[in-house]
Amino acid sequence: MLQYPNIDPIAISLGPLQIHWYGIMYLIGFAAAWFLAKKRASIKNSTWSDEQVGDLIFYGAMGVVIGGRIGYMLFYNFSSLLSDPLSLFYVWQGGMSFHGGFLGVIAAVYIFSRLTKKPVFKVLDFVAPLVPIGLAAGRMGNFIGAELYGRATDVPWGMVFPTDPLALVRHPSQLYQAGLEGLTLFVIIWFYSAKPRPTFAVSGMFCMGYGLFRSFVEFFRQPDDGVFVAFGWLTRGQLLSLPMIVVGALVVILAYTNSSFDKPNTRTKA
């Protein structure tokens, strides 16, 4: 068994002001997205300006935060939302959902696309490689906060998390997610998007890749509220990821087979 590092989740305290590591990880994720977007926008024949990159990151950040919070309350804490609708705004209590943030980013990209007259799916293809590093940072924030830990285990690298009322040795599933949904997915999508691809292909690959990695890690992560939603093993995270796998795979197939989509040799940049 490994010793949990027990890092103080509060990074900085300035009187009544407390800055949590989780918030810092969000800032790191947004900063990484901005840096990577600038790099993608600097390629030859790019139609992206610095101002558009900045606006895109702002819209995306709003989509992550607003969508993530709404998604968490709808998918994981709906009973509290019904009993106290104002709990939607109790962000200091924690609670963010990737799937809600994912939908929020899609909505933000749609609004951005309408304002800039850029094709929405080409903007999504531009955005997809920017996301995984932020996911990795967020999962590291979960690990520091000793939240969203894994199921009980006897593996040598298991840990006892201080927030676990049962004090069981558990999988550090936050690190699994940071490694798979974050770093591994980033490498795959970044290098996949480095060459011309049909419109939709990069977005579809991201959806499929995230859904597969998330579904796999859910076998090691403690289900939210400890409840399985179906068959005695299917978790809510897996249930929400299944549409991403199916839609992502279909989008990739259509991108390469449907003649109405831009092909690599005729692809135009957003």
- Model pLDDT for residues 175-194, shown as the tens digit of each residue: 999 999 999 999 999 999 99
Q: What pLDDT is recorded for position 264?
A: 58
Give me the pLDDT at residue 29, please.
Answer: 93
Domain boundaries, the chain: 10-196
Over residues 133-160, the pLDDT tens digits come to 999 999 999 999 999 999 999 999 999 9
Separation of first and last alpha carbons in the chain: 50
Tokens 């840990």 label which residue? 159
Question: The tokens 């998330």 sit on which residue?
Answer: 214
User: For 243, what's the count of Cα atoms within 13 Å in the CB-facing half-sphere?
Assistant: 7
pLDDT at residue 89 above 80?
A: no
* 9 — pLDDT class (breaks 50, 70, 90): confident
pLDDT digits (tens, 9 = 90+) for 217-268: 999 999 977 778 788 889 989 998 999 999 999 999 999 987 555 665 444 4
Position 61 scores a pLDDT of 93
- Is the pLDDT confidence value at 203 over 90? yes
Sequence-distant (6+) residues with CB within 8 A of 145 are 9, 20, 21, 22, 94, 163
